[in-house]
């Protein structure tokens, strides 16, 4: 029985040494991309005439089309002041396509405007009061000729008109 354990121990040590002395596995080589030749190899001249026709590859020239600069929208600003003045208004004469801007520069209270009539109400989106808090604006682009009536609110009411030509 002793011999059996001795043989088993020697076998175990032999297997252990065999595993320790083996070479580590070589790392797997990762293929590296190689450049593909872009030029055709030069043909070796022969005594026999070839029937191959040389070809030329034309690369189209792309020219950038400049982006047109948008035409700025003309604006006209009507300003409410702290001294209850309406600067540049309340009546304004503008060309079609002009954006009329009502600006509140009165830090003490809000101001507002209200459309008078359905034609102006369509431009304002409604005939309801458009409140303009301090530092904010309300704007409308008038694109059709005509006269558009409105009135100021939250201050002594002033009737105004935007005349579009």
Q: Report the candidate in 106, 83, 92, 86 with the shortest Cα–Cα distance to residue 140.
A: 92
The whole-number pLDDT of residue 133 equals 92
164 pLDDT more than 90: yes
**CATH number reported for the structural domain that contains residue 135 in this entry:** 2.60.40.420
33 pLDDT more than 80: no
In a domain, 152, yes or no: yes
Highest mean pLDDT among 14-23, 70-79, 80-89, 141-150: 141-150
The parent domain of residue 104 ranges over 75-164
Number of separate domains in the chain = 1
In a domain, 135, yes or no: yes
Q: What is the pLDDT of residues 94-138, one digit of tens each?
A: 999 999 999 999 988 889 999 998 888 888 888 888 999 999 999
Measured between alpha carbons, how far is 120 from 112 in angstroms, rounded to an integer?
Answer: 15
In a domain, 16, yes or no: no
Encoded tokens for 147: 């006269």
The whole-number pLDDT of residue 65 equals 80
- CA distances to 33, 35, 108, 114, 128 from 39, rounded to whole Å, are 18, 12, 78, 75, 75
In a domain, 160, yes or no: yes
In a domain, 94, yes or no: yes
Measured between alpha carbons, how far is 156 from 105 in angstroms, rounded to an integer?
Answer: 16
- Determine if the peptide bond prior to 90 is cis (ω within 30°): yes
163 pLDDT more than 90: yes
Partners of 77 in the beta sheet? 101
Q: What is the pLDDT of residues 40-51, one digit of tens each?
A: 556 666 666 666
Mean pLDDT of 3-30: 67
List, in order, residues 6 or more apart from 70 with CB less than 8 Å away. Answer: none
In a domain, 15, yes or no: no
Measured between alpha carbons, how far is 65 from 48 in angstroms, rounded to an integer?
Answer: 51
Q: What is the pLDDT of residues 58-95, one digit of tens each?
A: 677 777 788 888 888 899 999 998 888 888 878 999 99
In a domain, 100, yes or no: yes
Encoded tokens for 57: 């590859």
Contact 73, 140 (CB under 8 A): no
In a domain, 90, yes or no: yes
Q: Report the candidate in 74, 84, 82, 42 with the shortest Cα–Cα distance to residue 141.
A: 74
The whole-number pLDDT of residue 100 equals 95
The whole-number pLDDT of residue 34 equals 61
The whole-number pLDDT of residue 73 equals 84
Query: Radius of gyration (Cα) for the chain, nearest Å?
Result: 44
């Amino acid at each position: 029985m002793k011999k059996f354990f001795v043989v088993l121990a020697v076998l175990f040590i032999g297997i252990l040494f065999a595993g320790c002395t083996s070479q580590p596995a070589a790392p797997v080589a990762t293929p590296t991309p190689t450049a593909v030749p872009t030029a055709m190899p030069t043909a070796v001249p022969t005594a026999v005439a070839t029937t191959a026709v040389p070809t030329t590859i034309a690369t189209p020239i792309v020219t950038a089309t400049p982006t047109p600069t948008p035409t700025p929208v003309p604006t006209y600003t009507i300003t409410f002041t702290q001294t209850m003045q309406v600067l540049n208004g309340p009546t304004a004469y503008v060309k079609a396509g002009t954006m009329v801007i009502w600006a509140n520069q009165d830090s003490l209270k809000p101001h507002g405007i209200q459309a008078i009539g359905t034609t102006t109400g369509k431009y304002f989106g409604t005939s309801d009061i458009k409140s303009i808090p301090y530092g904010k604006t309300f704007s409308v682009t008038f694109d059709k000729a005509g006269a558009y009536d409105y009135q100021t609110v939250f201050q002594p009411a002033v009737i105004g008109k935007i005349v579009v030509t």
